[in-house]
A and B are shown apart, each in its own frame.
Chain A
Amino acid sequence: MRNTTKLMLAAVASFGMAAQAQAADVKACFIYVGPIGDFGWSYQHDQGRLELEEALGDKVETAYLESVPEGADAERAIERFARSGCNIIFTTSFGYMDATNKVAAKFPDVKFEHATGYKRETPNVSTYNSKFYQGRYVQGQIAAKMSEAGVAGYIGSFPIPEVVRGINSFMLGAQSVNPDFAVKVVWANTWFDPGKEADAAKALIDQGVDIITQHTDSTAPMQVAAERGIKAFGQASDMINFGPETQLTAIVDDWGPYYIERVQALLDGTYESVDVWHGMADGNVVMAPYANMPDDVKAMAEETEAAITSGELEPFTGPITKQDGSEWLAEGEQADIGTLLGLNFYVAGVDDQLPQ
Chain B
Amino acid sequence: MSFEMAEAILLTIATAATPLLIAALGELVVERSGVLNLGVEGMMVMGAVTGFAAAQLSGSPWIGVLAAIVAGAVFSMLFAFLTLSLATNQVATGLSLTILGLGLSGMIGESFIGTPGLKLQSWVIPGLSEIPLVGKFLFAQDPIFYISILLTICVWWFIFRTRAGLTLRAVGDSHGSAHALGIRVIRIRYLAVLFGGACAGLAGGQLSLVYTPQWVENMTAGRGWIALALVVFASWLPWRVVAGAYLFGAVTIAQFHAQAQGIAIPSQFLSALPYLATIVVLVLISSNRRMTMRNTPASLGKPFVPER
State if A and B touch, Cβ cutoff 8 Å. Answer: yes
B223 and A195 contact, CB distance less than 8 A: yes
Which of A43, A184, A196 neighbours the largest number of chain B CB atoms within 10 Å of its CB?
A196
User: Given that A189-B271, A203-B12, A206-B8 are known contacts, is A219 also in contact with B214, CB under 8 Å in the complex?
Assistant: yes
Q: B60: CB under 8 A from chain A?
A: no
Q: A258: CB under 8 A from chain B?
A: no
With a cutoff of 8 Å between Cβ atoms, the chain B residues found around residue A192 in the complex are: 216, 218, 221
Interface hit among B35-43, B68-76, B112-120: B112-120
With a cutoff of 8 Å between Cβ atoms, the chain B residues found around residue A204 in the complex are: 256, 260
With a cutoff of 8 Å between Cβ atoms, the chain A residues found around residue B61 in the complex are: none
Q: Mask for A194-205, Cβ within 8 A of B = 1, else 0?
A: 111111101111
Q: A39: CB under 8 A from chain B?
A: yes
Q: Mask for A211-234, Cβ within 8 A of B = 1, else 0?
A: 000000011100100000000000
The smallest beta-carbon distance between A228 and chain B, in angstroms, is 9
With a cutoff of 8 Å between Cβ atoms, the chain B residues found around residue A198 in the complex are: 15, 211-212
User: Given that A187-B267, A195-B221, A199-B12 are known contacts, is A39 also in contact with B259, CB under 8 Å in the complex?
Assistant: no
The smallest beta-carbon distance between A71 and chain B, in angstroms, is 18
Q: A153: CB under 8 A from chain B?
A: yes
With a cutoff of 8 Å between Cβ atoms, the chain B residues found around residue A200 in the complex are: 256
With a cutoff of 8 Å between Cβ atoms, the chain A residues found around residue B170 in the complex are: none
With a cutoff of 8 Å between Cβ atoms, the chain B residues found around residue A184 in the complex are: 260, 262
Q: How distant is the Cα of A192 from the Cα of B217 in the complex, in angstroms? A: 10
Within 8 A of A (CB), among B114-143: 114-116
Q: A355: CB under 8 A from chain B?
A: yes
Q: B306: CB under 8 A from chain A?
A: no
B113 and A207 contact, CB distance less than 8 A: no
User: Can you list 22 A-B pairs, Cβ within 8 angstroms, ordered by A?
Assistant: A35-B217, A37-B113, A37-B216, A38-B216, A39-B114, A186-B259, A187-B267, A192-B218, A193-B221, A194-B207, A195-B212, A195-B221, A198-B15, A198-B211, A203-B9, A203-B253, A207-B5, A218-B212, A218-B214, A220-B214, A223-B116, A352-B259
Residues of B participating in the A interface, judged by any CB pair closer than 8 Å: 5, 8-9, 12, 15-16, 19, 106, 109-110, 113-116, 207, 211-214, 216-219, 221, 223, 252-253, 256-257, 259-262, 264, 266-268, 271
